[in-house]
A and B are shown apart, each in its own frame.
Chain A
């Protein structure tokens, strides 16, 4: 099956305060429609890896491919566009623009992409919000909703441009078991119905076990 994301020998060092080899020879791939999770001890480099995969961090060696296209070494403008169109990202802390409404937060990446009309974008945003059961919050200011709701808004925003892959850095880390179950179900459905690929960092063993594949990390290496 086709690989949507592939890394070859990715290495990263932090040079401050002293040389620290944080990622060592990371080579793996994510298939289309695959739901993969990354597990590992705190500080083993999971977030660092995710920032590289999401193209936000360009300070590494090795090659990163997205849809069989080499991403490494592309200029920042182009990386922004790739991030906008192909990669959805959900943070552990719900990062929303607090001064904007829920709807505007969700629509923003699509407006930036500017491939659809305003009406279409709005329609899509409503669809995503409905799918995540938060359509009643549409007009609410993003600062005036609960943590679980914020997380779902962030997921809706990550999905608005129908990306190739959705990455999450402990997206359920701040949620109670019920909400976390909810998010898991949404993810599961997205891989099954829309063949979306998912790569999720988690500390939740139950969550990880129910995914298609667990990538185990230890001291900056993939161990299985």
Chain B
């Protein structure tokens, strides 16, 4: 039978009379946990930001047509040459359209699929931007802007104007920020675009788009899908890209292979497109945990030291307790409770400190040309890190307290009583 009230009361008295040591030990834990929370929040915040920068813009699966020579050359269709060794020189791709064949049925098929969160058709066209005497090469992307806004974070990158403004204007364009700067254009100005075939088309700037990646902002702009089709003089089923967002990103590779076979189009999944990002996140996480564990081990040694000292000072008390009927286990629990109280107090304070630092970082200004939507440093407030933090604190203090407490348990009262 364990009498917790008595044990905790003794533990409390020991801690209170040794206030300085207690506070020192607890602060060790506080700094360990605080640093962990701050680093985890900051690092993963940064990860999310960087991932978001590219991954959110990247569809989980992209369908398009690649211009490439056919695998089967006409000669192989002839029965007469079946067993012959055919040599075809200077193979060239067939003059084919960039459009996806049967794009509209594919779109409808995908929309009905349960695994698919959304599908957006796009039309990528090479064009020239003309403003006065300036003529710049670039690409024009025709999109269903409402769906894009729902499925990707394009909204974050529209630095002036709104997606609605584009939707409501059949001749509107969201101009790339780099282009706008080069041509000294701003919202409500006009810009002309010219197709490769030479057709010139006037558009009204309804917004500015800045992705943060200069090679995109200097060439790319968005218009409505219908507008793009009109500029190119193509019908409504002329679509060059189909972007797919899934509910579960892990299904992307398998599904991409299936779609490629099923519809005879090229399908590329997000993992192939952005393999290097996983590695970056992984290494940042590794650093976070390595530093935090190091800090906690240092804090653990602090607790171990202080408890050892305390037990050395309290030898006489331990002997008295044992002589008056407290068992070795009671004594062990008294010192374990002290370790756990230090761990809990220090840990909770560490969570507070981590949260406080996170808020400070979160509010620290962080302005960079490359990231137009970011005004302050990114922080992730995932409660998971707080849970891990307090569990970490308790486990490390448990381990640090166990050895000294076990020593106290084994102290022979007779030896101590004889010693004086």
A91: chain B residues at CB < 8 Å are 323, 417
Given contacts A56-B414, A95-B417, A108-B6, contact A89 B327 (CB under 8 A): no
Residues B180-239 near A (CB distance < 8 A): none
**Complex interface bits, A96-137 against B, C-beta within 8 A gives 1, otherwise 0:** 111110000000110111100000000000000000000000
Instruction: Quote the shortest CB–CB distance from B407 to chain A (angstroms).
Output: 16
| Contact call A57/B5, Cβ cutoff below 8 A | no
Instruction: Quote the shortest CB–CB distance from B324 to chain A (angstroms).
Output: 5
Q: Does A41 contact B (CB under 8 A)?
A: no
Q: Does A54 contact B (CB under 8 A)?
A: yes
B323: chain A residues at CB < 8 Å are 54, 56, 83, 89, 91, 95
Q: Does B372 contact A (CB under 8 A)?
A: no
A76: chain B residues at CB < 8 Å are 327-328
Residues B322-365 near A (CB distance < 8 A): 322-330
A-B contact list, 7 entries, CB within 8 Å: A81-B325, A95-B417, A97-B321, A108-B321, A113-B325, A114-B6, A161-B325
| Contact call A96/B413, Cβ cutoff below 8 A | no
Given contacts A89-B324, A157-B324, contact A112 B414 (CB under 8 A): no
Q: Does B113 contact A (CB under 8 A)?
A: no
- B420 is contacted by which of A83, A93, A161 (Cβ under 8 Å)? A93
Q: Does B316 contact A (CB under 8 A)?
A: yes
Which residue from chain B places its CB closest to the CB of A52 in the assembled complex? B414
Question: Complex Cα distance A99/B19, Å?
Answer: 13
Question: Complex Cα distance A44/B418, Å?
Answer: 15
Q: Does A9 contact B (CB under 8 A)?
A: no
Question: Complex Cα distance A80/B3, Å?
Answer: 14
Question: Complex Cα distance A68/B3, Å?
Answer: 28
- B316 is contacted by which of A47, A51, A54, A95 (Cβ under 8 Å)? A95
Question: Complex Cα distance A200/B137, Å?
Answer: 109
Categorize the interface residue count of chain B.
20 to 34
Ranked 8 nearest A-B pairs via Cβ: A84-B325, A80-B327, A109-B324, A111-B6, A83-B325, A99-B17, A95-B320, A51-B414
Which residue from chain A places its CB closest to the CB of B18 in the assembled complex? A99
Q: Does B319 contact A (CB under 8 A)?
A: yes
Q: Given contacts A95-B316, A111-B6, list 6 more A-B pairs with CB under 8 A.
A: A77-B329, A80-B330, A85-B325, A89-B323, A93-B420, A108-B324
Question: Complex Cα distance A100/B327, Å?
Answer: 20
B329: chain A residues at CB < 8 Å are 77
Q: Does B88 contact A (CB under 8 A)?
A: no
B320: chain A residues at CB < 8 Å are 95-97
| Contact call B324/A56, Cβ cutoff below 8 A | no
Q: Does B1 contact A (CB under 8 A)?
A: yes
Which residue from chain A places its CB closest to the CB of B14 in the assembled complex? A99
B1: chain A residues at CB < 8 Å are 114
| Contact call A114/B3, Cβ cutoff below 8 A | yes
* Chain A residues in the interface with B (C-beta under 8 A): 47, 51, 54, 56-57, 76-77, 80-81, 83-85, 89, 91, 93, 95-100, 108-109, 111-114, 157, 161
Question: Complex Cα distance A161/B324, Å?
Answer: 10
**Complex interface bits, B56-95 against A, C-beta within 8 A gives 1, otherwise 0:** 0000000000000000000000000000000000000000
Question: Complex Cα distance A97/B323, Å?
Answer: 12
Which residue from chain A places its CB closest to the CB of B320 in the assembled complex? A95
Q: Does B278 contact A (CB under 8 A)?
A: no
Instruction: Quote the shortest CB–CB distance from A109 to chain B (angstroms).
Output: 5
- B327 is contacted by which of A77, A95, A99, A108 (Cβ under 8 Å)? A77
| Contact call B317/A97, Cβ cutoff below 8 A | yes
Q: Does B274 contact A (CB under 8 A)?
A: no
| Contact call A57/B3, Cβ cutoff below 8 A | no
A77: chain B residues at CB < 8 Å are 327, 329
A112: chain B residues at CB < 8 Å are 3, 6, 324-326, 330
Instruction: Quote the shortest CB–CB distance from A93 to chain B (angstroms).
Output: 6
Given contacts A77-B327, A83-B325, A95-B323, contact A57 B6 (CB under 8 A): no
Q: Does B13 contact A (CB under 8 A)?
A: yes
| Contact call B17/A80, Cβ cutoff below 8 A | no
Question: Complex Cα distance A93/B5, Å?
Answer: 28
Instruction: Quote the shortest CB–CB distance from B12 to chain A (angstroms).
Output: 11
B322: chain A residues at CB < 8 Å are 56, 80
B325: chain A residues at CB < 8 Å are 80-81, 83-85, 109, 112-113, 161
Instruction: Quote the shortest CB–CB distance from B329 to chain A (angstroms).
Output: 7
Instruction: Quote the shortest CB–CB distance from A116 to chain B (angstroms).
Output: 12
| Contact call A95/B319, Cβ cutoff below 8 A | yes
Instruction: Quote the shortest CB–CB distance from B315 to chain A (angstroms).
Output: 11
| Contact call B3/A56, Cβ cutoff below 8 A | no
Instruction: Quote the shortest CB–CB distance from B331 to chain A (angstroms).
Output: 10
- B13 is contacted by which of A84, A95, A99 (Cβ under 8 Å)? A99
Which residue from chain A places its CB closest to the CB of B331 in the assembled complex? A80
Question: Complex Cα distance A69/B112, Å?
Answer: 84
A108: chain B residues at CB < 8 Å are 6, 321, 324
Which residue from chain B places its CB closest to the CB of A51 in the assembled complex? B414
Q: Which of A54, A95, A111 has the most CB of B within 10 A?
A: A95
Instruction: Quote the shortest CB–CB distance from B3 to chain A (angstroms).
Output: 5
Instruction: Quote the shortest CB–CB distance from A212 to chain B (angstroms).
Output: 26
B14: chain A residues at CB < 8 Å are 99
